[in-house]
Structure 1
Amino acid sequence: MTEVLKNIQFTCFPYHLHFRFDAGTSRGVLKDKMIYLIKASIEGNPDISGWGEAAPLPNLSIDDIPDIASQISVYCRNFSGLSLPSNESAMLQWVSENIPDQLPSVKFAFETALLDLLNGGNKKIFDTAFFSGLKSIPINGLIWMGGKEFMLEQIDQKLEEGYECLKLKIGAIDFYQECELLSYIRQKYDASQITLRVDANGAFTPEESLNKLKVLSRFDLHSIEQPIKQGQLNEMAVLCRQTPFPIALDEELIGIHGIESKKKLLEFIRPQFIILKPTLIGGIVSSREWINLAETMGIGWWITSALESNIGLNAIAQFTSTYSVTMPQGLGTGQLYKNNFESPLTITNGHLEYKVEKSAWKTEL
């Protein structure tokens, strides 16, 4: 007989995050961000609650829509009172069937809220060595767009903090100033000492992209994320064949649903890497599909957070830790906000750790 969690109650809590600085991207500057926390609990036992985070990215997520809060509230109200099988695969399957693909961040929020509840409401999404504090995850240090001096300041700080992989967002200032920043790093550290990634967020035009990649290749880069805007499939496929160093698809994965559509995209473009942002691509089940396909085709991958609070970052980190990763992942956004939630997530020498001795979470709303 299958055990069930009976009479689950769902509640949505909007929460306004405030950046510590103006976070520059090629799509504009972010000063604050609205997220929606979903709480799952058993009626009559309010002390045990699971939490998930829906955090659509402005001007990028397909569920960055005006009525997202009301839609989440409707789902919470309609689902409250349900009883669900108390095992991971059945819960994830239920979310897949009951939250539409057009709401990827909401899928992820319900997945993680339910798994947290299933595991006792201690922010344990998956029982891994990472959650137990026995293993850390290598991550890249993120350098935000801005003026040259601001970016230099970040670079020096990240190097001082012990990161061995840096990711620079490019496309906001003059391209050759950005090359000077890369040259600054390479004059100090070669590729065997510091791995360099760049993220163009689609800032290059197809006409200029190959020439710019040739210039960037002088700096022994690991990869470039999304050099041209998503949706230009022919141009991206050609670029991936001609590029002098690896290309990673990022935004290109957004809005692609179902195994066959995912497979068709990867077979057509044949990128060297893909980047998985669970919030943007539909959560755990969808991310697993992408990973399985990529590994079958010999395409590399890594997982990245997407400006979530520590609630979402924790879930993404634990999901990442279900794989044996050695390549630096993109999981360092927890320090961005003035009013983030206290958590045991700590960064030490470019590695994300879960400090068990500090495992008391504070989810104050």
Structure 2
Amino acid sequence: MTVSTKLQFSFVKRTLDFRFEAGTSRGVLTTRQVFWIKVLDPKCPEVIGWGEAAPLVKLSPDHRKDFEEILRKTLDSLSGICFELKEKSILEQLRVLIPFELPSIRFGLETALLDLSWGGKKRLFPNRFYDVQEGISINGLIWMGGRDFMLEQIDQKLKDRFDCIKMKIGAIDFEQEIELLSYIRSRFSKDQITLRVDANGAFALENAPEKLERLADLDIHSIEQPIRAGDWEAMRKLCQATPLPIALDEELIGVTEKETLLDAIQPQHIILKPTLLGGILETKEWVKLAEERNIGWWMTSALESNIGLNAISQLASALKTTIPQGLGTGKLYNNNLDSPLEIKAGKIFYNPEMDWEDPV
């Protein structure tokens, strides 16, 4: 579908219920609000494109009390605008129309319009994940919580044959976290199991170097955001002296001067969450700039439902990722949208024999 046309936009709201209390450094999550954006051409109403706008509590630039009202006004404002339904045109037009300060809305609209452009089949662009059902390696995520809860998760991920495990740290005593990581490492070498940790900025600047040394002793692959975002000079010094690779995460949110940040801090890796960074076009630019500087990257979902997770998985595949991604959040909810996404042996797959639930 390439004709420039006026479209109809609307949304469906759902509150997702976590299967457990999801502990983060910003508190415990039990529910998650998502807004599924629906777009169609009135001349062909049976073909529908779906996207997801889901700002993350206390982290997304567009997480605000009046988000639903802002979303409604934004969609209403698009009803009289003509869109050329080609990938480049869609992404560039939405960059102009949707402010950078509304990243999850821009991402949801990008996804919905790209879906519509391919006939409303949940395919966004050519990619091997969707087209030939090529699996994407993902990390098994260990959520914060008590020692026994975290140990239970570790055992389950190992049983499920994940070869990359990511553990959120900073919630319990650091010695207990070291003990849990040591439990994995005592059973599996770094060649058998890749270990990542995510501090979500929990380390104090004065003791961060010592903690990085302790983690390096366990052959940790990388640590995400060891100190709080915003102090570029401190993060640069940490990246220069670190005994294990550092990946920037929250540090990227709200940043428009991508090159300036990467050149100032010179991290070993960056973590890309399209919902938080302003969508698909912004994410592609981060990837391009990182690769030009030999900075590693991988993509991570930001607790989206399966509509957002499908979009991020296809984007990661289209960008030809070769290392485990953070795309294992589809089973977090009791009432997620049924979808063809499934996880087997540490990989996420698109199974075309499974149907999408109608988002109503």
Rounded to whole Å, the distance in 2 between the matches of 1:133 and 1:144 is 32
Tell me the matched-pair count.
360
- The answer as to 2:300 corresponding to 1:304 is yes
Check conservation: 2:12, 2:359, Cα contact below 8 A: no
Pairing 1:121-140 to 2, within 5 Å after superposition: 121-140=120-139
- Aligned AA for 2:55? P
| CA gap 1:3/1:364 in 2 versus in 1, 3 angstroms | closer
Alpha carbons 2:85, 2:114 under 8 Å: kept? no
What amino acid does structure 2 have at the position aligned with 1:283?
Answer: G
Residue 262 of structure 2 is matched in structure 1 by 266
Unaligned runs of 5+ in 2: none
The CA deviation string for residues 104-162 of structure 1, in whole angstroms up to 9 with x for no partner, is 11110010000000010011112222102431100000000000000000000000101
Cα distance in 2 for residues equivalent to 1:160 and 1:346 = 17
1:281 is the counterpart of 2:277: yes
CA contact (8 A) 1:131 1:354 kept: yes
- Of residues 79-88 and 13-22 in structure 1, the stretch that sits farther from structure 2 once superposed is 79-88
Unaligned runs of 5+ residues in structure 1 are none
SS of the residue corresponding to residue 34 of structure 1 reads: strand
Residues 140-198 of structure 1 deviation map (CA, whole Å, 9 limit, x = unaligned): 00000000000000000000101000000000000000000000001100100000000
Once the two structures are superposed, residues 254-293 of structure 1 have per-residue CA deviations (whole angstroms, 9 ceiling, x without a partner) of 0002xxx110000010000000000000010000110110
Give the aligned partner of residue 24 of structure 2: 25
Match of 2:71 in 1: 72
| Residue 358 (structure 2) pairs with residue 363 (structure 1) | yes
2:127 and 2:318 in contact (8 A); partners too: yes
Alpha-carbon offset, residue 44 of structure 1: 3.7
Partner Cα distance (2:303, 2:358) in 1:
17
Where does residue 317 of structure 2 map in the other structure?
321
- How far 1:354 sits from its partner (Å)? 0.4
- What is residue 12 of structure 2 aligned with on the other side? 13
TM-score w.r.t. the length of structure 1 is: 0.97
On the 8 A contact 2:2/2:117 being kept in 1, the answer is: no
Report how far residue 364 of structure 1 moved. Answer: 3.3
| Deviation string, structure 1 residues 19-45 (Cα, Å, up to 9, x no partner) | 000000111100001111110101142
Instruction: Name the residue aligned to 2:111.
Output: 112
Q: State the SS of the aligned residue for 2:126.
A: coil
Question: Hey, what's the Cα distance between the residues in 1 that align with 2:29 and 2:281?
Answer: 29
Name the CA distance, whole Å, in 2 between partners of 1:150 and 1:363.
34
**Residue 87 of structure 1: how far off its partner (Å):** 1.0
User: Contact conserved, 2:133 with 2:351, CA < 8 A, in 1?
Assistant: no
CA distance in 1, matches of 2:266, 2:126: 34
The alignment partner of 1:6 has SS state of strand
Could you say which residue in structure 1 is the equivalent of 2:246?
247
Structure 1 residue 46: deviation in Å? Answer: 2.2
Runs of 4+ aligned structure 1 residues displaced above 2 Å come to none
Alpha-carbon distance in structure 1 between the residues aligned to 2:36 and 2:2: 27
- What code does the residue aligned with 2:72 have? S
Read off the aligned partner of 1:146 and give its amino acid letter. G
Q: TM-score, normalised by structure 2?
A: 0.98
Corresponding residue SS for 1:333: coil
What amino acid does structure 1 have at the position aligned with 2:298?
W
Instruction: Please report the RMSD computed on the Cα atoms of aligned residues, expressed in angstroms.
Output: 1.1
Separation of aligned partners in 1, 2:179 and 2:331: 27
